[in-house]
Amino acid sequence: MKLQEPKLEPFMLPPGTRVGQWEVKDYAGGGAYGLVFRAVRAGQERGVEVALKVACYPGDERFERERVLLSRVHHPSVARLLDSGEWQPPRGEAHPYLVMEWVEGMGLYTWAEWSHASSRQVLQVLGQLAGALEATHAAGAVHRDVKGGNIRVSLEGARAVLMDFGAGTYAGAAPLTKGALPPGTEEYRSPEALDYAHRRPRQATQTYAAQPADDVFALGVCAYRLVTGWYLPPLEMRPEGDGVWRLEFRVPRPPVEMNLRVEPLLSELILRMLEREPRRRPSAGELAQVLEEAVHKAGAGADRPLFQREEPAVPAEGAAPARRKERTLESGGERAGRVSARARRRRWAEYAACALLGAMASVTAVRWGQRSEQGDSAVVAQPSPSEEPVGLGDTRLKAPAPRTKDAPSALHPSRPVPDKPLEDQRRAPHCLAPVEVTIHGGCWIAVPPIKPPCGDAFYEWQGGCYMPSTIRPRQPTSEPQ
């Protein structure tokens, strides 16, 4: 599918813009193919807010496929589709749009950190998400991009919602992408999908057909990452003889070994979702039932926080006061306002830290480039942009620093540069040479002093470590962090 230029930008839909029967209030975030706005029904300034997603390009067929998919899936943990249509800008062709209920909450991993989540709460959240997948699969569809950034959870964990079906598909839907693998996020792909891509002949044109078991595996990766702070170990290449290699799945350590606070029952269920063979994984429906039962079966230990955090004895000047272990009762509106303010403060603090780190890396990269001109042999490759960025509101989540002291470094390898630009990353052709290079359509800054493994702060590409060049802060579509 060939997308048309020019790309829609947020300033083209300022507050007050009418899109069908909806009025834009403000910009909320965006991805490679869609922009999301807070909106209300026209003429109802204080009405119920909705999420208005407008295609970046005219005639984007992904929106029609997402519309059909959402119209078939009905579940409390899936955002409801309210309206759809086409918005005609003052110039150019019409852009398709979708209107969905606005989901308050925060990303899965951010929720776990802010709420001091326990195993029982995680069991409850996973049960809701499994129910959402059950409804999706019953409609003959697969999500294909289940990940932490596409999940929102209320602070109390009372409601978890599976977001962003832009990468999903359903039975009978026409394929929109080419290549061995459909849209998705590398860390969450199933072993069978990666094995298919490895074994597919170069001249083949057929794309891997994602199955419900792929979604279940991805949910298992989310759960593993949530309770341990680690992604799964990567697949390894093993020789079979005669120049043939195969991918070998490394069984992850049980979560309860990585984090002694994990309830053993939860640890066991996560490993069941991560079985190497698809047939050995439970279906989403079976998983939802088992998880619901586990919420009541788990012992008293399931109520302790998964991670023990140390509060500083004397807070830094200007820092927010330490969180109390016991909260006073508040109305829902008061709580929502308080959480929103905290989330905003946290985002701005992270953006400031990223900006500082980016400035430091930029200076390093410039100096390194000057050394190269004087005779250094180090050269940064500039590959061509990725053929197919992932999802409409896709974001890439960065793994946090290890939270378990005994976790071996082998379980935390370098993360590869993603196959699409990150949410707040500068994009080609706006990369600022020679400091920034283009990789998969995004602008990246080389960090020559650091060699792979690159750790949590950087990404690896062709034997080097890189960090993304960020643009002005904005709220991500899928995960406010």
- At residue 172 the predicted structure's pLDDT band, cuts being 50, 70 and 90, is confident
Please say which residue of 101, 135, 169 terminates a domain: 101
Strands, E, within 108-250: which ranges?
141-142, 151-153, 160-162, 169-170, 236-241, 244-248
| Separation of alpha carbons 432 and 362, rounded Å | 11
Number of structural domains in the chain: 3
Contact 247, 236 (CB under 8 A): yes
pLDDT value, residue 270: 97
The distance from CA 115 to its chain's CA centroid, rounded to whole angstroms, is 19
Contact 459, 440 (CB under 8 A): no
Question: Closest by alpha carbon to 417, among 182, 186, 178, 183?
Answer: 186
More confident residue, 447 or 126: 126
pLDDT (mean) for 156-162: 90
| Separation of alpha carbons 442 and 390, rounded Å | 13
Q: Is residue 422 part of a domain?
A: yes
CATH number for the domain harbouring residue 96: 3.30.200.20
| Separation of alpha carbons 116 and 118, rounded Å | 7
Percent of the chain having pLDDT more than 70?
72
Q: Is residue 47 part of a domain?
A: yes
Same domain as 110, residue 97:
no
Domain limits for position 43: 10-101
Q: Is 202 helix (H, G, I), strand (E, B) or coil?
A: coil
Same domain as 120, residue 65:
no
Lowest model confidence (mean pLDDT) among 42-56, 57-71, 177-191, 402-416: 402-416
Q: In which element (H, E) is residue 442 found?
A: strand 442-446
Q: In which element (H, E) is residue 51 found?
A: strand 50-55
Question: Closest by alpha carbon to 69, among 174, 148, 186?
Answer: 174
Same domain as 269, residue 362:
no
Question: Closest by alpha carbon to 267, among 227, 310, 207?
Answer: 227
Query: Is pLDDT at 142 greater than 70 in this prediction?
Result: yes
Same domain as 170, residue 43:
no
Query: Is pLDDT at 410 greater than 90 in this prediction?
Result: no
Interior angle at CA 117, CA 116 and CA 119, nearest 5: 140
Q: Is residue 475 part of a domain?
A: no
Tokens 């940064």, residue?
A: 380
End-to-end, the C-alpha distance of the chain in Å comes to 32
* Exposed/middle/buried for residue 221 (C-beta within 10 Å: 0-12, 13-18, 19+): buried
CATH number for the domain harbouring residue 205: 1.10.510.10
Q: Is residue 361 part of a domain?
A: yes
Please say which residue of 85, 101, 117 terminates a domain: 101
Q: Is residue 252 part of a domain?
A: yes
Same domain as 261, residue 137:
yes
Q: Give the predicted TM-score (pTM) of the model.
A: 0.65
Q: Is residue 71 part of a domain?
A: yes
| Separation of alpha carbons 227 and 185, rounded Å | 20
pLDDT per position as a tens digit, 269-298:
999 999 999 999 999 999 999 999 999 999
Same domain as 373, residue 282:
no
- At residue 5 the predicted structure's pLDDT band, cuts being 50, 70 and 90, is low
Same domain as 385, residue 268:
no
Query: Is pLDDT at 348 greater than 90 in this prediction?
Result: no
Q: Is residue 190 part of a domain?
A: yes
Strand 50-55, strand 151-153: pairing: unpaired
| Separation of alpha carbons 36 and 27, rounded Å | 6
Contact 219, 134 (CB under 8 A): no
Cβ count near 313 (within 10 Å): 6
Please say which residue of 277, 303, 329 terminates a domain: 303
pLDDT (mean) for 58-72: 92
Same domain as 424, residue 364:
yes
Same domain as 241, residue 199:
yes
pLDDT per position as a tens digit, 79-133:
999 999 999 998 889 999 999 999 989 999 999 989 999 999 999 999 999 999 9
Task: Region of 85 please: left (phi>0), alpha (psi -120 to 50) or beta.
Answer: left
Q: Is residue 328 part of a domain?
A: no
What is the Rg, in whole angstroms, of the alpha carbon atoms belonging to the chain?
A: 23
Same domain as 367, residue 457:
yes
Full 3-state SS string of 92-145: CCCEEEEEEECCCCEEHHHHHHHHCCEHHHHHHHHHHHHHHHHHHHHCCEECCC
Same domain as 124, residue 75:
no
| Separation of alpha carbons 418 and 231, rounded Å | 15
Average pLDDT, the chain: 77
Specify the DSSP class assigned to residue 182. -
pLDDT (mean) for 408-416: 54
Tokens 């953006």, residue?
A: 351
Lowest model confidence (mean pLDDT) among 3-12, 339-348, 365-374: 365-374
Same domain as 294, residue 168:
yes
Strand 464-468, strand 50-55: pairing: unpaired
Tokens of residue 178, six digits? 């080419």
pLDDT value, residue 242: 62
* Exposed/middle/buried for residue 7 (C-beta within 10 Å: 0-12, 13-18, 19+): middle
More confident residue, 141 or 353: 141
- At residue 11 the predicted structure's pLDDT band, cuts being 50, 70 and 90, is confident
